[in-house]
Structure 1
Amino acid sequence: MSKKWSQYSIVATVKETPLKTDKQPKTPEFFVPDLCRVRAVFLMLVTSELLVLVLAVVQAPQGWIDWSYFGLLSLFVQWATLTSAAFICLLRPRLANTGIARATTVIVLIVVLDVLAFSLFADRVLHPSPGGVDWQTIAKKLLLAALITLMVLRYFYLQHQWQQQREAQMQAQLASLQARIRPHFLFNSMNTIASLIASDPVKAEDAVLDLSELFRANLRTDQQLVPLARELELCRRYLGIETLRLGERLQTEWHIAEGLEQQAIPPLTLQPLLENAVHHGIQSRAEGGTIRVEAYEKGPYAYLLIQNPEPDTNGPRHNGNQVGLANTRARLTAVFGEQAVLKQSRHNGIHTVTLRLPRQTARMEH
């Protein structure tokens, strides 16, 4: 048994360290959004201002809107909204560790007490009345604030449940798509290894290691994103196996820009595309050809290109296997949404598959 095989056996027994991306949440899952973010606060202010506008239109004794009432109510509502959001933001890590009922109760109490404080301040300082505090009006404000808060929290809860279901469906879809592998590659690889066992056992052993690493990656369905460096290493292993079968007919060129080693990419994204390139652009040509893999950064995106010569027009025609492209496109859409693009083009006898991924880092957790 060679030294390389012994090293591989030791490494294979070590549990793999999970990957994490910079976009993973640092706080526990909670149905209330993070109100410390500018976007969340802006949406709350816009929503509350629309509510004030509706109330000003309804309360107008004449005309379309009571501008005096609108101005005073806007000032009151914005103060209450911003201070309540600040308190909820500070208490969010603790609320996330409590039950939904308790968290809802605490949030409603925060809003009601906040509205009460501003109501008393307005009645005693800004607009004092001779008859003292109008507790009936304040009670109406507190009831309205509690009802609105409960409706908003209900919306947040339903939105959170929908998002969780969507993520679960996406994970199931990714696992299903990632589990597919073209069987003819396995058969060809095993035949190549069998033919090398007698003539060149060292190459046969290396091919077994590369093939096992490919299938280990294919069975690793718990990782949604991996670094580009790891994906390219699997691609080199795959092309190494195909080189044993095709010999000098298969030539490869690598042009990987620096700084993209940690670019996040779904696992086994490039290998099916390279398999298509080998099957349709190299194997079908008697003289073979060159596969070119390029990666570079442009703006907020990372671009990956795989180029291969088109099939010989005098040779057997292939309709092309679109399973690999459809599989990859579906996985990219599930992970990155519309930011990810996969397209193919033909120019001067060269077939090019282009992937555009948003710049995102996937790093190893130490």
Structure 2
Amino acid sequence: MPAAPRPSTPLPDFCSLPVLFALLVVGALTVTLMRLGPEASGGWSAYSAGVLFTSWLAILLTVALCKLRASMQRLPGHWPYAAVWLLLVALTAFATALLGWLDVGLALGVGPADPSRFTLQASLAAGLLGACLLRYFYVVAQWQARVAAEAQAQVAALQARIRPHFLFNSMNTVAALIAVDPVAAERTVENLAELFRAALGDEREGMGTLGDEWRLVERYLEIEALRLGDRLRVERHLDVAETLPLPHLLLQPLVENAIRHGIQPRVDGGLLRIVARRVPGGAQLCVDNPLPPSPAPSGTGHGLRNVRERVRYHYGDRAEVRDDVRDQRFVVTVFLPDLAHARPDRR
């Protein structure tokens, strides 16, 4: 049985601005070092022409690599990087030969005295610099893959920790209702079936939508309303499209904490507010509840910490989870930047 081909090594995103910036910087530094060499000839006009040429060449290489990346990525093993290196050398040779031909044909006088030698030297320089750049991109890609794998494992562990906590509390509610209101208990079991499906579902993609989370919270609130009765009053404001991407089980732990630590300890209950609105640069979720009549015993803070960790993983440092006290109410505010600003491997 023939051996299966080795999977290809992931290529960097050549369509990104950092790659173009790296090529521009390398080209400018190469021309600068040549200008500072002991055998350098020509004045600032020659130096400016060299920087202009390398900048044009960097843009040409970036466009070509961006367009051909998908085709080269299908090659097995390390051949994608070999194909990128060959393309770098070939395009550099073509560009320098074209420059020499135009300089001679149009008598511009800005090109090298010996176009053939310049083409050979530029091709060798592109080969050496290209090999160094590709090695750098390869190391960075491997490092990012390891970081993403570790972060995904951490998120999976956090998700696994929140499920038993959430399901245990819900089952206690069902047990309390069976003796006093069997019909309500049956309806609660139906709601729990949907909650179980969300809590135990496939998390490989990591993202759902605000509409999914909103409906999950509605089912959870219906369960808690049966237990707390008129003591639980809820205000909801949804000013964001339901298709907004949102990590699974992000909103429900905040609502659960608000009920357990803010509304349940109060004899008269209280008002729970849930707000989702658009703000400049992204979306904002707010969950606030009245403070308990006496300081609550310090807990583990697992629910809020879980939300912080998953928001940081999916959205990076631009996201923010803040909690504070305003007007005798405990307010948790989550800012989620647009996913266009998040890392692709986190979506």
Tell me the TM-score normalised to structure 1 length: 0.79
Does 2:33 match 1:51? no
- Residue deviations 1:102-147 (CA, integer Å, cap 9, x gap): 3333333333233333433444542589xx9565554333221111
Residue 248 of structure 1: aligned partner: 230
Runs of 4+ that moved beyond 6 A: none
Q: CA deviation at 1:336?
A: 0.4
Residue 180 of structure 1: aligned partner: 161
Structure 1 SS opposite 2:266: coil
The separation in 2 between residues aligned to 1:186 and 1:115, in whole angstroms, is 62
Structure 2 SS opposite 1:181: helix
Give the alignment's Cα RMSD to 1 decimal: 2.8
Residues 185 and 30 (structure 1), Cα distance of their counterparts in 2 relative to 1, 3 Å cut: closer
After superposing the two structures, state which structure 1 stretch, 111-120 or 285-294, moved more: 111-120
Q: CA deviation at 1:251?
A: 1.4
- Residue deviations 1:310-359 (CA, integer Å, cap 9, x gap): 0103xx74324411111111111011011211111112211111111113
- Residue deviations 1:245-298 (CA, integer Å, cap 9, x gap): 2222111111111x4211121111121111211111111111111111111111
The answer to whether the Cα contact below 8 Å between 2:23 and 2:58 also exists between their aligned partners in 1 is: yes
Mapping 1:282-321, distance limit 5 Å: 282-313=263-294, 317-321=296-300
Residue 82 of structure 2: aligned partner: 105
Residue 316 of structure 2: aligned partner: 337
Mapping 1:78-97, distance limit 5 Å: 78-97=55-74
Does 2:195 match 1:218? no
1:253 is aligned with what amino acid?
E
1:334 is aligned with what amino acid?
Y
Q: What are structure 1's unaligned runs of at least 5 residues? A: 1-27, 362-366
The separation in 2 between residues aligned to 1:344 and 1:53, in whole angstroms, is 52
Residues 275 and 123 (structure 1), Cα distance of their counterparts in 2 relative to 1, 3 Å cut: closer
1:208 is aligned with what amino acid?
V
The separation in 1 between residues aligned to 2:67 and 2:249, in whole angstroms, is 41
Residue 345 of structure 2: aligned partner: none
Mapping 1:48-197, distance limit 5 Å: 48-59=27-38, 66-126=43-103, 135-181=116-162, 186-197=167-178
Q: Greater relative contact order (Cα 8 A, min sep 6): structure 1 or 2?
A: 1
Residues 73 and 260 (structure 1), Cα distance of their counterparts in 2 relative to 1, 3 Å cut: same
**Identity across the alignment (%):** 36
After superposing the two structures, state which structure 1 stretch, 50-59 or 101-110, moved more: 101-110
Residue 229 of structure 1: aligned partner: 211
The separation in 1 between residues aligned to 2:225 and 2:309, in whole angstroms, is 29
2:290 is aligned with what amino acid?
P
The separation in 2 between residues aligned to 1:209 and 1:227, in whole angstroms, is 22
The separation in 2 between residues aligned to 1:137 and 1:191, in whole angstroms, is 80
The answer to whether the Cα contact below 8 Å between 2:14 and 2:20 also exists between their aligned partners in 1 is: no
The answer to whether the Cα contact below 8 Å between 2:163 and 2:200 also exists between their aligned partners in 1 is: no
The answer to whether the Cα contact below 8 Å between 1:124 and 1:133 also exists between their aligned partners in 2 is: no
Q: What are structure 2's unaligned runs of at least 5 residues? A: 1-7, 341-347
Aligned length: 326
1:296 is aligned with what amino acid?
R
The answer to whether the Cα contact below 8 Å between 2:174 and 2:185 also exists between their aligned partners in 1 is: yes
Q: CA deviation at 1:50?
A: 2.4
